[in-house]
Chains A and B, each alone.
Chain A
Amino acid sequence: MEKNPIIRRLRPEDLAALSGQSSAPVLVRPSRSYWQDAWGRLKANKRALVSLYIIIGLLVFTFIGPLVWQVDPALQDIDQISVAPGADRGAIVVDAFEAWDGQAPAPGFAAGDGLSLAGQPTTQSVKLQWQDMAGADSYLVYRNNFVPDNVNTLGLPLMQISDPSQRFYEDRLDLRPGTYYYSVAALDAFDQRTGDYQTVVADVIRVITVNEVRTRNLVDDPDALRPGDEVRLSWHPLGTDYLGRDMLARLMAGARVSLFIGLLAPLFFVAFGVIYGATSGFVGGRLDSVMMRFADFVVALPFLLFMILFQVVFGIGPGESGIIPMLVALIILSWPATARLVRGQILQIREEAYVSAARLLGASQNYLILRHMIPNTLGVILVTLTFAVPAAIFTEAFLSFIGMGVAPPTASWGSMCNEGLKTMLTHPHELIFPAAMISITVLAFNLLGDGLRDALDAKMRSTE
């Protein structure tokens, strides 16, 4: 570094009086209010911003979604139970079902050697016929989704036919388009397998009757349909659940319940907590300690027990929604955390020098509250609120999961998870979608809360 040139040599000009102007650069930037500053910091936080977009997206999904996707979440599409997203929807129109008496196989399906099909296998029914097996006292019909290797792995036992002269069977059980392996095993007089069995492959196609087309409103003119025509079944972008109800519509309906609890409950209990804590902190003294001991008492109350008690007190009969007691229980039991936080904040501000100064200058109580207390606690309150929302959503999901929330047929993400859990291995989409919705929502609210905390409270800024 060079030495300071000023010290090098002083000249008379240096000691001349300055003109009116200062040569120093003007080090000012536009004055920004607290909120402008906070918003700026929030915008700089990418995680918080993305979370904010997700939450906006969720609100659109919940409130505008049902206007776009006008499907009744309670409508059961019995033809498409537990259908995964993107499944083929084509179906061939056939005549109404009539039970088969085992006579006269369809043309082209004459009885051959052993086990054979007696008609086109459809989702309506699969007709089987077989020849007499030696030593059979009765027959057991099996169905398998996989190729059976031996007599022990024939698959699902569908029906035992105790009359050996009846050598046909019509399967109607939960048929889906795809390949099935039917087997018929001979049983001896003691219902033990003789080891004799035969297998046939059935490629089942999806069919629908005109009547079903009419009740489901699939085409404009169902009477014009003839057997063999192809119709498209109704579309379920996210698949269907175990009763054929549209997952997308149910997710939207569930979001409404989750957001109802998730937004309303925190709003109420944070508001109550703020008033309670602020009063306690501002008044101080004996009232403060009494009020805070009461808050401690409320903290000690068990939430789940109270939920059950409220359901009883509210006279929530079976089959009625437990959402209102849940809301009340959440409000009554969750406020002390906010109250404590706000009380602490108020106590702190009360002792600040600027408050004392304001007092000395003769500021009224109202002025102190409006000018100093509220603005300085607002950040804390806002942060509490954003963290309370995911907690409430999670509580709702948890309670619905254990069956204490909504009553069927109303959907909630928690109850959908509960239902989806049972079919987790075979139809994972029934669990994954609601679980993902809960996770994303809770994460988004948490990250937004985190960002807000950083933005609103300079003291609590994380080191980034």
Chain B
Amino acid sequence: MKQEDPSDFVQAPGDRLTRAAGKQLAVYGVAAVLLLTAAMFLLNALAGLTSSAAGMSRMAVDVENNTITSYLRQEPPQMNSMLATDAVSGMVLAHVMEGLLRYDQYGELVGGVAERWQLEGNTMTFWLRDDARWSNGEPVTAHDFEFAWKNLLSPSVGSQYAFILYPILNAEQANNGEVPIDDVGINAVDDRTLVVTLATPIAYFDRMVAFVTYLPANEAFYRQTDGRYGADADEMLYNGPFMMTSWVHGASMRLEKNPYYWDADRIRLDAINFAHMTSDSSTLLNLFKDNQIVMADLGSEMLEEAMLQGWSLNQFMEGTVFYTDFNHRPERLTANLNLRKAMALVHDSGELVNKVIKLPGYLPGKSLFPVWLPGVDDNFREEYPAPVYQRDVAQARVYLQRALDELGLDRLPPLVLLTGDTPVSRIQAEYYQEVFKRNLDIDLVIDAQIFRQRLEKMTAGDFDLVAAGWGPDYNDPLTFGDLYASWNLNNRGRYSNPALDAQVRIAQNSLDMTERMRAFAEIQRIIHEDVVMMPDYERGYVYVTHPQVRGIVRHVIGAETDFTNAWIDAGE
């Protein structure tokens, strides 16, 4: 509409309305912002009162109380050393319990509760120190070890790690219910002498007793908890450097110095708070920046910022080997050797680590045996270098054609790659999808599952390829070497080869280190030639620690993060 008559021109009523409405809106807006701000502070104060971390220091380092605050990657299922299978339980247990032997800050095996120990033929004798005490003041005796070990071997307890005691005479039979539990070769001669009879003499038994499953338990206390042993902070007795004083499930945990610990002078911290239970790396980084935790692992996308901030970064080789396992069950396509060879020939772990994962500390995988494993004199991998496949696409296509001919197929149906749900495993899976598609025209279907689900599918054989990892239980190549033995339940692809089995038997039973290492080298060769699996990487961590906290140690074997030697350096 056009206004012809200027005298009729008035301000449009809408304009005025808009202005008034705008003013009102602005008032409302300001009021809303103020109200929300007030609510925010109120809620924050309320949360502070009710939070699980209430009463705990919110600072990473509390110099006054000689306390540090850290995190746990997840809530431990329980703290019963006889049932523990996961790394988080293992880490906490290493702080609150002590076995016969333990690893010191340099990763050397030293005496824990045992003062000295000796292997004579089939018999291993441990002499216990007389000043080791439980946190209620009772002495730690050889009977506590005998009870714990026999208890976890009894079929009714159903310990998943019972197999680690199988070197002991009759342990396997007792665990299967074939012989009475009293026939197992564990015998507390008196309070301070423990005699263990082994099925066959093995050279590495002292390294095994440092493992979590070999921890002691006080029988009287265990009976008194009525099946709730290790379920709560007060349902346990502690004999380690620290004791758990509070455990708010799913939220926090507090460890305090154990006054009854025999070597209490060694411990310089008064308490450790695990105030957060999360594994989300960006949350952890924010907590670290906020000065709420003393250390945090970094993802590749955080490195640039860490360098910019000038943080002191550390690197740690975790010792775990990650590999892509094939399903060797006969009904699977991956049971075909030529197909596996073709895939191994386009697989390039160097490219995976250097270009895709991009995290320092990761080593390109070359073998099932990680680089740090001890050999006879030097490291095993120095003495027996691992054979590797170089990427050769033309050769791979030749093998693929052979495989197709053998299988009577024109084209491979899609293969299922079972993998985890972490960022690294997802990127890795997407990278493999492209590598095998581009070079061999093999379609990979990614099946990303949470850990428990993945384990279930691995056990059921519901995969063609699976991104798997294996961490060491003890410091001997056998902890990796028997992985593909046909009887090993962790051999998820059901690989079965009598030649490899024979070598595993030699490695298990021989006392001659050179002979054992030769057996491991032979296993390494068979795995390479038969393409049992494709090594991906050995995992490492880049982590940042609080500048005032010194002496945090990370172990390949035992507690992944060890605060027992840590102290606060208030000077900085």
Instruction: Give chain A's interface residues, CB within 8 Å of chain B.
Output: 74-76, 78, 81, 140, 143-146, 149, 152-153, 155-160, 172-174, 190-191, 215, 242-243, 317-320, 407-409, 422-423, 425-427, 463-464
Residues of A within 8 A of B94 (CB): none
| A172–B354 touching, CB < 8 Å | yes
Tell me the bound Cα distance from A425 to B285 in angstroms: 13
Residues of B within 8 A of A146 (CB): 307-308, 310
**Which of A74, A318, A320, A463 is most buried by chain B, counting CB atoms within 10 A of its CB?**
A318
Query: What are the interface flags for B277-319 relative to A under an 8 Å C-beta threshold, 1 for contact and 0 otherwise?
Result: 0000010000000000000000111111111101111110000
* Size band of the interface chain B makes with A: 35 or more
Residues of B within 8 A of A320 (CB): 445
Q: Which are the 3 A-B pairs with shortest beta-carbon distances?
A: A157-B315, A318-B447, A319-B445
* One of B23-31, B119-127, B218-226, B424-432 contacting the partner: B424-432
Looking at chain A's contact residues, the main secondary structure is: loop
Given contacts A174-B354, A243-B431, A425-B304, contact A153 B447 (CB under 8 A): no
Can you identify 13 A-B contacts, CB atoms within 8 angstroms? A76-B438, A78-B356, A157-B313, A157-B361, A319-B416, A319-B417, A319-B445, A408-B426, A422-B299, A425-B301, A425-B302, A463-B18, A464-B14
Residue of B18, B307, B426, B547 near A156 (CB, 8 A) is B307
Tell me the bound Cα distance from A144 to B105 in angstroms: 28
Least CB distance from B304 to A in Å reads 5
Within 8 A of A (CB), among B403-419: 416-417
| B448–A152 touching, CB < 8 Å | no
Q: Which residue of B lies closest to A151 (CB)?
A: B312
Residue of B300, B305, B358, B542 near A157 (CB, 8 A) is B542
Q: Which residue of B lies closest to A149 (CB)?
A: B310
Residues of A within 8 A of B542 (CB): 156-157
Tell me the bound Cα distance from A144 to B358 in angstroms: 14
| B446–A408 touching, CB < 8 Å | yes
Residue of B354, B433, B445, B446 near A173 (CB, 8 A) is B354
Residues of B within 8 A of A149 (CB): 310
Least CB distance from B307 to A in Å reads 5
Tell me the bound Cα distance from A317 to B445 in angstroms: 10
| A172–B449 touching, CB < 8 Å | no
Residue of A153, A243, A317 near B427 (CB, 8 A) is A243
Least CB distance from B472 to A in Å reads 18
Given contacts A153-B312, A157-B361, A173-B360, contact A74 B437 (CB under 8 A): yes
Within 8 A of A (CB), among B312-361: 312-315, 350-351, 353-356, 358, 360-361
Given contacts A174-B355, A318-B449, A426-B301, contact A76 B313 (CB under 8 A): no
Q: Which residue of B lies closest to A146 (CB)?
A: B307
| A144–B307 touching, CB < 8 Å | yes
| A318–B315 touching, CB < 8 Å | no
| A243–B356 touching, CB < 8 Å | yes
Residue of A156, A319, A422 near B447 (CB, 8 A) is A319
| B416–A76 touching, CB < 8 Å | no
| A81–B355 touching, CB < 8 Å | yes
Tell me the bound Cα distance from A254 to B354 in angstroms: 28
Tell me the bound Cα distance from A422 to B298 in angstroms: 12
Residues of B within 8 A of A145 (CB): 304, 307-308
| A318–B446 touching, CB < 8 Å | yes
| A156–B445 touching, CB < 8 Å | no
Residues of A within 8 A of B303 (CB): 156
| B434–A409 touching, CB < 8 Å | yes
Q: Which residue of B lies closest to A79 (CB)?
A: B355
Least CB distance from A201 to B in Å reads 15
Residues of A within 8 A of B9 (CB): none
Least CB distance from B209 to A in Å reads 25
Residue of B304, B355, B433 near A78 (CB, 8 A) is B355
Tell me the bound Cα distance from A426 to B301 in angstroms: 7
Least CB distance from A193 to B in Å reads 9
| B304–A426 touching, CB < 8 Å | yes
Q: Which residue of A lies closest to B357 (CB)?
A: A174
Tell me the bound Cα distance from A318 to B300 in angstroms: 27
Tell me the bound Cα distance from A459 to B353 in angstroms: 64
Residues of B within 8 A of A153 (CB): 310-312
| B315–A160 touching, CB < 8 Å | yes
Tell me the bound Cα distance from A427 to B429 in angstroms: 21
Residues of B within 8 A of A317 (CB): 445, 447
| B434–A157 touching, CB < 8 Å | no
Query: What are the interface flags for B443-455 relative to A under an 8 Å C-beta threshold, 1 for contact and 0 otherwise?
Result: 0011111000000
Given contacts A155-B307, A156-B303, A156-B307, contact A407 B360 (CB under 8 A): no
Tell me the bound Cα distance from A341 to B315 in angstroms: 62
Least CB distance from A102 to B in Å reads 15
Indicate whether B423 reaches chain A with its CB closer than 8 angstroms.
yes
| A408–B301 touching, CB < 8 Å | no
| B360–A156 touching, CB < 8 Å | yes
Least CB distance from B498 to A in Å reads 35
Indicate whether B17 reaches chain A with its CB closer than 8 angstroms.
yes
Tell me the bound Cα distance from A145 to B310 in angstroms: 10
Indicate whether B106 reaches chain A with its CB closer than 8 angstroms.
yes
Residues of A within 8 A of B445 (CB): 317-320, 407
Q: Which residue of B lies closest to A150 (CB)?
A: B310
Residues of A within 8 A of B106 (CB): 190-191
